[in-house]
A = this chain, B = another copy of it.
């Protein structure tokens, strides 16, 4: 069985071929340009690869409502050329196979649930904190879609008492993404995040916002694992700070062993590392084949 996988990111695309065990056998990566250019490269890559199905985890917002007339489209993105672009339709013309189609973060959550940090569990939440903040949710053995799809990067925040930064989100100002994504870090301190030393006060504020969102996520949907990925989370000293702040926030209210005594194995980095997205797309492809 040869499954195609596409991690369609706002900055770069990764295409690969994998098998049912989650092993990526081949992959390529290229920058995200105008859709005509980028999709031509995607199609060229899968040409003669003879795939049985293709899974796609895409940047959004997307239409993932199976009965919607614009199912398979990227919808309201400001990215030039991509607004209301029919990704799935374009691919189907070249490769008439079953397709899995979901958000990049739902794909990453699914990949981690199948082969990574949440392996064997029927629920997990995947946060990516990078250029933006995205959240993928796997709950009761299913990826959560709902009315549109989770957009947990934009939840409202309680402000850190020492933080006067207005927030960078054009929609909400000081929502989670507006306060904690890479651009917010950079705007607040006037220096790239990775140039700030581990003992810089920036990280206490960063951990405060991420922990706040994780706390509300735990209270809201009670995931069995919280996975934090993305560029900002490469700063691994954030993990203990976030765990401590989450435990302080919850204050013993959720009496689960995983939180009270094993939080180091509860709030974790992605086990699939940078491959979480591509592996997740692979998992979506496998699922599409099974759902036939």
Query: A residues touching B (Cβ–Cβ < 8 Å)?
Result: 61, 75-76, 123, 135, 137, 139-159, 171-172, 212, 215-224, 249-256, 258-259
CA distance A151 to B144 in the complex (A): 18
Is A139 a contact partner of B146 (Cβ separation < 8 A)? yes
Is B154 a contact partner of A219 (Cβ separation < 8 A)? yes
- Can you list 29 residue pairs at the A/B interface with Cβ under 8 Å? A76-B255, A123-B147, A137-B220, A137-B221, A139-B139, A139-B144, A139-B146, A140-B146, A141-B142, A144-B221, A146-B222, A146-B223, A147-B223, A147-B259, A148-B222, A148-B254, A150-B219, A150-B220, A151-B254, A152-B219, A152-B220, A154-B219, A156-B212, A156-B215, A156-B216, A171-B250, A171-B251, A172-B253, A217-B220
Is B258 a contact partner of A222 (Cβ separation < 8 A)? no
CA distance A148 to B158 in the complex (A): 25
Max chain B CB contacts within 10 Å: which of A76, A143, A217, A220?
A220
Is B151 a contact partner of A123 (Cβ separation < 8 A)? no
CA distance A148 to B266 in the complex (A): 13
* Total copies of the chain: 2
Instruction: Give the secondary structure class of A's interface.
Output: loop
Chain B residues within an 8 Å CB radius of A251 = 171-172
CA distance A75 to B254 in the complex (A): 11
CA distance A144 to B124 in the complex (A): 12
Given the interface contacts A145-B140, A221-B144, does A255 sit within 8 Å of B155 by beta carbon?
A: no
Given the interface contacts A61-B255, A253-B171, does A222 sit within 8 Å of B151 by beta carbon?
A: yes
CA distance A219 to B145 in the complex (A): 11
Is A156 a contact partner of B249 (Cβ separation < 8 A)? yes
CA distance A144 to B141 in the complex (A): 10
Chain B residues within an 8 Å CB radius of A143 = 140
Max chain B CB contacts within 10 Å: which of A250, A251, A258?
A251
